[in-house]
A and B are shown apart, each in its own frame.
Chain A
Amino acid sequence: MKPAPFEYHAPRDLGGALRALAEAGADGKVLAGGQSLIPLLNMRLAAPAHLIDINRVTELATLEARPDGVLVGALARHSEVERSPAAAAVQPLIAQALRLVAHPVIRNRGTVVGSLVHADPAAELPAVLSVLGGSVRLASVRHGARDLPAAEFFTGPMESALEPGELAVSAFFPALPERSGTAFHEVARRHGDYALAGVCALVTLDDDLMVSLARVACVGVGPVPMVVDVTGAAGRRPPATADWRAAARAVQEGVEPEQDIHATAAYREHLVGVLAERALREAAEGCR
């Protein structure tokens, strides 16, 4: 199991990376952490003619915790973001999800933006970006920079709106609103495996401490992260008396699980209900 030969490009700045990507076009692939890409190369499920290694583009190794959200550069590793108290203070859901991403050693190398671009429908970070209404910034020689909201970025299983020649330079995770809480729950066969199903939840209370927003994004039960707004089903009530069971049923109705060798569609639908109720209750209890 060795990768097929490829032409290697090691740009030292963003301009060089974009030029190399523009020249390579559809034959080019970006290497950041490589924790999803290199297995595909080793197994020869992918064999790009050009590999553009952005590991020397240090200007992309940024992590900014701002009042309005967390801006994660393309070279920020999972482990760095997971351990950042500043990022967790602005948006705790990112670290809650990162603890479920593979294993600590993989997270030392893997990147947050890489996980988004990989767009695995069973992965945690695309769901986080989706439930929060975040965005990905894409850059290319041809189009310059453009920001795509999560809802437009994830287009199918392992597919994103990233075009040939484009580089995802950063992702923006909006800050936790006031009086809000988050949670992420999933079921995987082994800790660190891709989940059979998972649910992340965002709950916000209004001035009277009634539920004013309850939203989830589900992984493993659709072609892309499945976002379901359950504010109506939960009811405008205090978190303790909101109808989280009805909310969970609404989530089950909003997903499209499929059967595979790991689980039946019915089991996944069951899991999503259980996990949604658990995540919504925990998010509601954690509102601050």
Chain B
Amino acid sequence: MPVTHEITLVVNGVARRAEVPARRLLSDCLRQDLGLTGTHVGCEHGVCGCCTVLLDGEPVRSCLTFAVTVDGREITTVEGLAGPDGMSAVQRAFAECHGLQCGFCTPGFLCTVTAFLRDNPAPTDEEVLEGISGNLCRCTGYQNIAKAVHRAAELLAEES
């Protein structure tokens, strides 16, 4: 039997336990051990950004993080972005601006942009492009995604 490690992750505000081998990637732990399939796995070497989640609030590649390394830490996945009143401002902006087509890359974009706008609530065009430069989309050509980031900034400003 391979050695396993018992870990606890606080995922979207809920403490979740899992028993994982050390080589279990955080992305696979979320999807397979915890059943949270909103986090998508694209390239598995850090290029595509689909698997981006928030680790203690900071966006990271879950495919480049071992679950055991982040034992005890807080993770926010795309499932945790919506509030009690429904979709978050970032999610609504992506829907409104058609910032997605097939949706495969969307969870990564949503997590990245949520943290990006928290740190920079009124970004310039250039800052938006830099902010999303680590996420690949193969459908939209990015125009609508960039629009959605600006729209989300507006919605967030209206909310606060």
Give A contacts to B, CB under 8 Å: 1-8, 10, 31, 34-35, 38-39, 41-43, 51, 53, 55, 79, 102-106, 108-109, 191-192
Contacts and interface: CB of A to CB of B under 8 A. Distances in A.
Interface in B43-89: 44-46, 49, 52, 55, 58-61, 63-66, 68-69
B138 interface: no
A288 B157 CA distance: 40
Interface in B78-131: 112, 116, 130-131
Interface of B: 2-3, 5, 21-23, 25, 28, 44-46, 49, 52, 55, 58-61, 63-66, 68-69, 112, 116, 130-131, 133-134
Nearest to B131: A104
Contact of B68 (A5, A53, A103, A191): A53
A5 B46 contact: no
Nearest to B41: A1
Contacts of B131: 104
Contacts, number: 87
Main secondary structure of the interface of B (DSSP, over half): mixed
A195 to B, nearest CB: 15
B23 A35 contact: no
Contacts of B3: 7-8
Contact of A103 (B21, B55, B66, B134): B134
Given A7-B3, A39-B45, A42-B63, A192 B23 contact: no
Contacts of B66: 31, 34, 38, 53
